[in-house]
Amino acid sequence: MTSVADRIAGPPLAADADVIAQGKAAAQVAAPAVALPAAGERELRLDLFRGLALWLIFIDHLPPNILTWLTIRNYGFSDATEIFIFISGYTAAFVYGRAMRDAGFVVATARILRRVWQIYVAHVFLFTIFLAEISYVATSFENPLYSEEMGIMDFLKEPDVTIVQALLLRFRPVNMDVLPLYIVLMLFLPIILWLMKRSPDLTLALSVILYAITWQFDLSLSAYPNGVWVFNPFAWQLLFVFGAWCAQGGAQRMSRILASPITLWICIAYLLFAFFVTLTWYMPQLSYLMPRRLEQWMYPISKTDLDVLRFAHFLALAAVTVRFIPKDWPGLKSPWLRPLILCGQHSLEIFCLGVFLAFAGHFLLAELSGGAGLHFVISISGILIMSAAAWLFSWYKHSADKSGTRSKATSGNADMAGGGA
Amino acid sequence: MNSVSGPILGLMVLTGLLTAMPVRGEDAPAACEVPDYLLASESTLGKVENAVKNKQSLDILVVGSRSSTINPNANSSEAPAYPARMQAALKEKLPSVAVNLSVEIQAKKTAEEVAAGLAKLMEGKKPTLVIWQTGTVDAVRSVDPDDFRTAVDDGIAALQEAGADVVLMNPQYSPRTETMISVPPYLDNMRVVAQQHDVPLFDRFAIMRHWAESGEFDLFSAYRGVELAKRVHNCIGVALSQFVIDAAHLGPPQQN
């Protein structure tokens, strides 16, 4: 049995030199089989679960329907956002950490900033779509029952302020909070990596301290017109840094803990507990079973500040997952999981597409007054479109852009390797 | 994850179907039907109970924002909104008691702004029961949920201090604006505060969503007339009257 750490960490540090060498070789040669060297080293589980997170985020952004029951937020405290941020931290640290060792701090920072810019542009693009949708609703929807809710359109009255605030990432419509968080986290990635090069454990400790300070002193970023960022970067950085720490060999050092049956049982017990608690949310009939004292201590479970219960739930899920799905799990090669993996490999594009499709799906549902049937069709079509798009993106990368890669390979490699969103 | 959640998923989907189906079946014939669990509350309305049992009058004050009225013009009262419907239903169910209602619409005010004025409002009116409908304005303006919670907390404390029973009412279910307004944090916080103060929470959101899902009302509708709003408010008023009667232990449950 290979060590658990191997399964999480992908190539452990010792093997990194090889990876780098291969990566370089791939970059320099840019042979016809451009994908192969990288793919050989790729941690497919990361792609798989990031793809899964993207699907779940898409489904969660649609109004509740039968598929919503398949998303993990119904079975515990954490949801797809945790998976997404953790894996993003992991892959970003893996790719740009390599770049930092390879090409130095300045070059790695430059590449990270370019990635930040891409995410920012994607966010602004989504905002434009949101503006179109909300303007349409504002002009076409006038149900007196909801005259109060229509107050949300008020910002259309002063687009000058709103749009500038949106560009400053302070005005974020619903469902558009993940990318701003990601932008901020990526902005700090150079510092995180620089610290990690010295001491990963110290970096993680600092991150935990920042998290604790955030809870103690209510640190937050203000939003426009009021309120705070829905995902507080001061709190959510913990997951991102934890992901980075795992990528930098932390997972390997945790291997003994992860392999222990005690850990497994604690995790399973906690997951079951969370499952039961969540059950009482969806079936209020059961809520009398919940001890009142426990409820008072536990609620509210803050998503904004990444509640400890959520973080712990994610850890438990991750621990159980790496235990039962090894790195060389044959299913990873299965054609059935291929769409998920492809989506995970193009996460920024697919994430944006998912947000767009959720808007579009919502729009269709509203216009056609569709029932559960249409809802189901929209959800499934969305997932199919996301998968097809992911397939198209990898076709572009591996076939259509092949001639381009030759010259750009060295500089573009970090992004190509999935370093981004 | 997969290996654990596989069977659980199946179980959940199954239980989801099982619980959803009978409800749907029952619902079709009668209007305004609300499943029992959506009207159940562990918290009680002791002062209302006393007032009614001593054959006194029941003075109710509804404090709300614009979703407590139908007319865009807050002060006109052409179409009866849920407070008036509730009053009518209570009079019917409690014939021996004089049910008096006053409505205080504070349009476009956040919970914090309303809470600040509650003590003063109570000085003048001295109601037995205050129904405080809040959350929508805060959700629309995305007020910090923590601040919102504090405000609701303060508001309830002020109302209880003034000697009234309190029912908290959460925002409407509004499918059309679901992608624009994030309501869940406010729902959660209201549930928490209600629990802390042992105050019954009238879950308007869940009830309306239930009606939307059961096909009772098409809440997606872009219909501009006032008919739908009237029917919805009527049903909310009836459900609310039942909720108050149950929470005050006045007579056996009449619905279902």
Condensed to tens digits (0 to 9), the pLDDT of residues B37-67 reads: 899 888 999 999 999 888 778 999 999 998 9
> How far is the C-alpha of A145 from the C-alpha of B70, rounded, in Å?
6
Residues B228-233 have a mean pLDDT of: 90
Poorest-confidence range of A384-388, B20-24, B78-82? B20-24
Residues B208-222 have a mean pLDDT of: 84
Burial label, A129 (beta-carbon count in 10 A; 0-12, 13-18, 19+): middle
- Find the CB nearest A283 among B19, B65, B189: B19
Kindly report the average pLDDT of chain B as a whole number: 83
Closest residue, chain B, to A68 (C-alpha): B13
Report the pLDDT value the prediction gives residue A403, as an integer from 0 to 100: 60
Report the pLDDT value the prediction gives residue B205, as an integer from 0 to 100: 95
Strand B201-202, strand B99-105: pairing? unpaired
Condensed to tens digits (0 to 9), the pLDDT of residues B119-139 reads: 999 988 889 999 999 999 999
Residue among A232, A254, A236 nearest A245 (CA): A254
Domain boundaries, chain B: 36-247
- The token duo for A126 is 């989504």
- With CB atoms and an 8 Å threshold, state whether A69 touches B9: yes
Residues of chain A with confidence (pLDDT) below 50: 1-40, 405-421
Residues B78-91 have a mean pLDDT of: 89
> How far is the C-alpha of A11 from the C-alpha of A18, rounded, in Å?
9
Helix axes A44-61, A338-345, angle to 10 degrees: 90
Q: pTM value?
A: 0.78
Report the pLDDT value the prediction gives residue A41, as an integer from 0 to 100: 60
Per-residue pLDDT band for B74 (boundaries 50, 70, 90) equals very low
- With CB atoms and an 8 Å threshold, state whether B9 touches A75: yes
**Which of A55, A149, A170, A332 would best serve as a mutation to test chain B binding (most B beta carbons within 10 A)?**
A149
- Find the CB nearest B1 among A140, A173, A317: A317
For the cut 70, the answer to whether the pLDDT of residue B252 exceeds it is no
| B149 vs A contacts (CB less than 8 Å) | 300
- With CB atoms and an 8 Å threshold, state whether B181 touches A174: yes
Q: Tell me whether residue A17 is in a domain.
A: yes
Condensed to tens digits (0 to 9), the pLDDT of residues A303-347 reads: 889 999 999 999 999 999 999 998 889 889 899 999 999 999 999
**Percent of chain B clearing pLDDT 90 (strictly above):** 53
Largest CA distance in chain B: 62
| B66 vs A contacts (CB less than 8 Å) | 147-148
Condensed to tens digits (0 to 9), the pLDDT of residues A33-52 reads: 322 333 336 789 999 999 99
Which domain, by its residues, includes A44? 4-416
Residues B170-191 have a mean pLDDT of: 89
- With CB atoms and an 8 Å threshold, state whether A148 touches B66: yes
Q: Which amino acid is at A134?
A: I
> How far is the C-alpha of A416 from the C-alpha of A410, rounded, in Å?
10
- Find the CB nearest B176 among A49, A66, A137: A137
Report the pLDDT value the prediction gives residue B93, as an integer from 0 to 100: 92
| A362 vs B contacts (CB less than 8 Å) | 178-179
Closest residue, chain A, to B194 (C-alpha): A296
- The token duo for A336 is 């059935």
* Counted domains in chain A: 1
- Find the CB nearest B232 among A145, A226, A320: A145
CATH number of B36-247: 3.40.50.1110
